[in-house]
Amino acid sequence: MPEFDVVGVGLNATDTLLVVPHFPAYAGKVPFQEEVLSPGGQVASAMATCAKLGLRAKYIGTMGDDDRGRIQMESLRNTGINLDDVQVRKGCANQSAYIIIDRATGERTVLWRRPDCLRIAPSEITREQITCARLLHIDGHDTPAVEHAARIARKAGMPVTVDVDTIYHGFDRVLPHVDYLVASSEFPIQWTNESDPFKALKLIQKEYCMRVAAMTLGAHGALALAEGRFIYSPAFVVNCVDTTGAGDVFHGAFCYAVLEGMPMRNALEFSNAMAALNCMALGARGGIRGIEEVRALMLRAERRSHPEFETRTTTASRAS
């Protein structure tokens, strides 16, 4: 039996959150109300979510040896994630972000920087580091490294999930090894040059023969193409404080759902609920909750359905 349930290869970041009463107009000026230092990052936050849900999680990545790197390392250590294969790069600053949060809506604007000294090479990832788990989760940033990890996982018969929000050079070599693509709403359209998201997901799934091609839709939930039909899952309505990290938490919850063998509709609903709970607190990992709180939200919360996606999901599935 593998030592871990899930292993993640990808980004971490230490964020500075600036909360403003409303986002300023271009070239405008507004006082900020709060300043908070908060650990985040796509794959690191997904692994923190997995750990909160009771999975044995391992994180592989790089960190700087500055204060932000130490804050990140301490945060992940406190979650119980295995960090044996995290590399601390000497004389290198950790990835950082300045995130402006509009208090009126909870929406955020991100300014980020990742020094080249944090780049991880394929040769730094071994087969044993990947095959010690049941599932691999990756992002797209260090593309050759995540391609290498995904190849290892595919050969070992492990499912591979990917979180990608923009086009990376060489990512076409990663996608053939992916089982579950859960992209941002922009990625499928940018990747295929097809403005219709339903057609874009179909094109990606057909070209790369992946099990599931899906996209998150922010305040409107998530859309997936699985087993020849589209599934739309509306978002949960909550008191939104900060949307930072919602997608990362969605991906961690989705990894859990895959390992639990949830039907796709249930997996999307569960992941939407986890993301919604995280939006109720400041920070990328501020609102990560456990199973009981997720179930309670799923039972009581109102859903925000997008009429077009609701209607077109039924139509597209009939036409498939």
The tens digit of pLDDT for each residue in 194-249 reads 999 999 999 999 999 999 999 999 889 999 999 999 999 999 999 999 999 999 99
Please answer whether residues 97 and 111 qualify as being in contact, where contact means their C-beta atoms are separated by less than 8 angstroms.
Answer: yes
Residues 126 and 132: their CA atoms lie apart, in Å, by 11
3 state DSSP class of 174? coil
Helix (H) or strand (E) holding 199: helix 197-208
For the chain, give every domain's residue range.
Answer: 4-11+42-86+121-319
**Any residues with CB less than 8 A from the CB of 255 and at least 6 apart, and which?**
6, 46, 49, 50, 55, 135, 137, 161
Residues 262 and 258: their CA atoms lie apart, in Å, by 6
Give per-residue pLDDT as tens, 99-120.
999 999 999 999 999 999 999 9
Task: Locate all alpha helices (DSSP H) within 10-166, ordered by sequence.
Answer: 42-52, 67-79, 127-131, 143-155
Task: Note if the pTM is more than 0.75.
Answer: yes
Instruction: Give pLDDT, residue 317.
Output: 55
Go through the chain and tell me how many residues it has.
320
What are the structure tokens assigned to 317, written together?
């599935």
Instruction: Give pLDDT, residue 318.
Output: 54
Q: Which CATH number fits domain 4-11+42-86+121-319: 3.30.70.1340, 3.90.550.10, 3.40.50.1820, 3.40.1190.20?
A: 3.40.1190.20
Neighbours of 91 (CB within 10 A): 8
**Any residues with CB less than 8 A from the CB of 184 and at least 6 apart, and which?**
164, 165, 166, 215, 216, 247
- The residue type of 214 is A
For tokens 């076409």, what's the residue?
172
Residues 237 and 272: their CA atoms lie apart, in Å, by 10
pLDDT along the chain (320 residues), means of 10: 96 96 92 95 98 98 98 97 98 97 93 97 98 98 97 98 96 98 96 96 97 95 95 95 96 98 97 97 95 94 86 68
